[in-house]
Amino acid sequence: MNKAYKYRLYPNGEQATLINKTFGCVRFVYNKMLTDRISVYEQYRDNKEELKRQKYKRPADFKEEYPWLKEVDSLALANAQLNLQRAYANFFRDKTVGFPKFKSKRRSNKTYTTNNQNGTIRLIDGQTIRLPKLKDVKIKLHRPLPEDAVIKSATISCTSTNKYYLSILVEYGAEITPVEPTMGTVLGLDYSSGSLYVDSNGESAEYPRFYRKAESKLKKEQRKLSRRKEGGSNWKKQRQRVAKLHEKTANQRKDFLHHMSRQIANAYDAVGVEDINMRSMAQCLNLAKSTNDNGFGMLRNFLDYKLTEQGKQLVVMDKWYPSSKTCFPCKNINHDLKLSDRTWTCPKCGAVLERDPNAACNIQYEACRLLGLVS
């Protein structure tokens, strides 16, 4: 079983300089190889057989022309090549994915991945880790790795507030015993813009809306940033203040979602959720701030891997399943129901239903049906 553990890194001045240099070299090599692939694609786009026969430049081919590429970890450059190959293959597999794009110096994520070869990545003690080219780097090991864990790779990243993190991918032997759910151990979750979700027990998450709480302070700091001269020292300081506010909000949201997903994964054997495209929902409705703030998509991802680790299941409904329009007591579908109707009366059985709890109960029932618990 593979699992990644993320820790805070504390590099010294020289190590931070080399890490930042590696970020730039990885981005540079990625863009150079992409330029090469674009020129070949434009030349042979109408001849697919000839296009498949073409050979592209590797990171090592650029080191003679750009000798400063030799200063950084060669495996980081090799992984940039693999990332480009994966993006290129995805484009030909599904054209809607889009052609690979160039990495911007300002907007792209500062990250690179290096592999463990013969112990080049290893923990020295509880406070130090050995990394290629960087040697010994201080680390905050807030939780230990599994005893039989074998380190496969390490990904170093830097946030906009200049904090360094290390994600260690390990492989360890973990036996996952499948859990057979019952009717009482299946939970249905219906998305709620205001409270994150409403479950089939009628309870809501009571999401604290971290972005809304920080919005007034964020507006004030962003207004100050807009008045600074771009590129100046005061502009850089103010940009850091804005970035710290965004980072704090994101960390609060992630912490809350981790706690909620852990409680649900420990209490239930299966969880049913809707197949919702959160990005499209934020764009097509006047709910962009609320949709992006509560992070229901992130909660769904957290539930997926936490349930899988325990041998449990995340059941995703069909995209067109009418959970809100179906009356839970009699299963009649009300096609005339509008989005603004939060409480409605079933025209067949006369039951008075609240939209979100009723939808959550329908999701739970559909999850039980998909699991074979009901016919």
Helix count and strand count (H, E) for the chain? 9, 13
Q: What is the pLDDT of residue 55?
A: 86
- Adjacent-strand bridge partners of 104: none
In angstroms, what is the C-alpha Rg of the chain? 25
Contact 365, 187 (CB under 8 A): no
Q: What is the pLDDT of residue 285?
A: 65
Position 174 pLDDT exceeds 70: yes
Element containing residue 367 per DSSP (H, E): helix 355-370
Cβ neighbours of residue 58 closer than 8 Å, sequence gap 6 or more: 81
**Residues 14-58 pLDDT 10s:** 999 999 999 999 999 999 999 998 888 888 888 878 887 888 889
Cα dist. 29→37, 56, 87, 99 in Å?
12, 13, 15, 17
Report how far residue 272's alpha carbon sits from residue 185's, in angstroms, rounded to the nearest whole number: 11
Bigger pLDDT: 26 vs 88: 26
Positions marked catalytic: 190, 274, 356
Q: What is the pLDDT of residue 287?
A: 73
Work out the average pLDDT over 160-167: 95
194 token code pair? 């205001």
* Mean pLDDT, all residues of the chain: 91
- Adjacent-strand bridge partners of 114: 154
Element containing residue 157 per DSSP (H, E): strand 150-158
